[in-house]
Structure 1
Amino acid sequence: MRNLFPKHRLLQAFGIALALGFMSQSAMAQSDSLAKIHGSGKIRIAIDLSVPPWSYKDDKLEMKGSEVDTAKLLAKDLGVELEVVPTNSANRIPLLMTNRADVVISAMTITPERLKTIDFSRPYSGISTFVAAPKSMSIKTPADLVGKKIAVTRGTTNDADITRMAPSGAEVVRFEDESTTMTAVVSGQMDVTALATTLIDVINQRNPGKQLEPKLLLQNSLFGVGMRKNDTALKEWVNKWVEDRLKSGDLQAIYKKHQGAEIPAEVLKTGT
């Protein structure tokens, strides 16, 4: 009888089945993240510790900031230990995708592009971002950026926004983290930057002579807890946690303590 399934076809079928098996196991492993967190007794949260007042280390090298307090509260309510995984803007999602972090709480804006790769919780925080420059500098439209260098942190939504906005003749200068970006402005190396309003305030505190002010709105950003796709149980738990902690006012209190302002109204209006 003629062999209806040649050897190469059998091997091909076996390879496909094996690949599907690995994909299925991966999906199951991800969907079981909440159980693994409880089983290990800790949650690994990626936080960029170079972004005051969101997250930073103080003079005693202790972790401070609204994102740090949010992460501590989440771990406490989960009943597990918090393990902070240091990151930067460009490395937040890779750490998550390679399973070196369970979630990301790092002032990460919910965007359609990021939603192609990861999932987010409902918004728990947010901020407005601007092109900022000294008061003495007249910038009223993007055309006024021609001939200017604009400091921005690589891999952030600010990077994407200013890249779209900047006209031909403007130079976007990218730094590896927010701390380095701010230092470049504070030191006088750069005059124009793309940053959140709170970071503009930090620059003015460090160098009052800069008299930095918002010039052009980039976007109003909403932040979510970043998670891997298919982490269904974990996402459901985090969404309920955000909802409950907004109702109790705890997240608003954390925001006001560190940001010196009320939490954006859009955070309270937006669901999952």
Structure 2
Amino acid sequence: MFLTTKLKQLARISLVAGCMSMALGVGTATAETIDKIKEKGEVVIGMLVDFPPYGILNTDNKPDGYDADVARQLAKDMGVKLQIMPVTGPNRIPFLLTGKVDLLVASLAITPERAKQVQFSHPYSAAQIVLFGGKDEKITDAKDLAGKRVGVARASTQDIAVTKIAPKDAEIRRFDDDASAMQALLSGQVDAIGCSTTVAAQIAKREPGRYENKFVLLQQEMAVAMRPGEPETLKAVNALIDQNIDNGNFSKLYEKWLGSPLPKLSK
């Protein structure tokens, strides 16, 4: 009888201990990144440092660029310290998923494949590919490329985009790289080129008032990446991004680094 009673007591103790452990485990599992950031007073943000002008190393060998400025603004708005951790294209998502960084502000374009791995915020940036040409060229859309000479970097995103929309009598001239296409435009070998807004800004700086963006060929939006299954973290980050787009902060930073206002972004 004594042994039976003792066994029952031990069983009850084990059951209570097990329930407490489960409760503690659930509490830990549901702690979100945004809560941990506030608790430690610091956010660790992963970013590329080899993707100018979004991510670079400045003369002091410190991370800089548009993404770095966005990261600084987010940390400031959160009221916490910022640690920027350099990442690469291949390791940026693994660094996030294994907890080495809290968030990614790493020029990560939103794609369906990536959305299966991470949780994306509202877009904070966009890389645009534009048709760029002389101000005297009357080009407003694809049909106006008829009879025009259009330069592109061979096998590039802009090559694909221009080839897809150009009329049959447009002459597409393919060059080895963006620098060669840019030189072809400057020397008058082509009437316009397909290029990123970064390249367009370089040309405009070199020859002020001579060229302009004709129309957008395509736009890839970039977002902050977070670990999946964290609704409160997503809500908090989205609120900060919306705030900085609405008040013009991100547009000022975009113009600082890319030479043009922030493009209109989706939500």
TMscore range, shorter length: 0.5 to 0.7
- Which consecutive residues of structure 1, in runs of 5 or more, have no partner in the other structure? 1-20, 133-137, 152-157, 166-183, 188-193, 209-213
Letter aligned with residue 241 of structure 2:
V
TM-score by length of 1: 0.60
CA contact (8 A) 2:254 2:260 kept: yes
Matched residue of 1:82: which SS?
A: strand
For residues 157-210 of structure 1, the C-alpha deviation after alignment (integer angstroms, 9 at most, x for no partner) is x6xx97xx9xxxxxxxxxxxxxxxxxx9779xxxxxx984315756x79x99xx
Task: State percent identity of aligned pairs.
Answer: 27
* Separation in structure 1 between the aligned mates of residue 36 and residue 228 of structure 2, nearest angstrom: 16
Partner in structure 2 of residue 74 of structure 1: 74
The match for 2:255 is 256
2:48 aligns with 48
What is the alpha-carbon root mean square deviation over aligned residues? 4.1
Whether the 8 Å CA contact 1:27–1:230 is kept in 2: the answer is: no
Distance 2:236 2:89 in 1: 25
Structure 2 unmatched runs, 5+: 1-20, 133-148, 164-176, 181-193, 208-212
2:109 alignment partner AA: T
Alignment of 1:114 with 2:119, yes or no, is: no
SS at 2:122 equivalent: coil
Query: Partners in 1 of 2:27 and 2:256 — Cα distance?
Result: 39
Cα distance in 1 between the residues matched to 2:81 and 2:127: 28
Aligned residues: 203
Deviation of 1:230 after TM superposition, in Å, equals 1.1
Cα 1:42–1:222 shift into 2, 3 Å: same
Q: Are the structure 2 counterparts of residues 200 and 253 from structure 1 closer, same or farther at C-alpha, using a change threshold of 3 Å?
A: closer
2-side partners of 1:234 and 1:128: how far apart?
A: 28
Name the CA distance, whole Å, in 2 between partners of 1:86 and 1:27. Answer: 31
Q: Which residue of 2 aligns with 1:38?
A: 38
1:247 aligns with 2:246: yes
Q: Could you tell me how far apart the structure 2 residues matched to 1:244 and 1:220 are?
A: 22
Could you say if the C-alpha distance between residues 26 and 68 of structure 1 is closer, same or farther in structure 2, counting changes exceeding 3 Å?
Answer: farther
Deviation of 1:85 after TM superposition, in Å, equals 1.1
Contact 1:52 1:199 in 2 (8 A): no
Distance 1:199 1:139, change over 3 A: closer
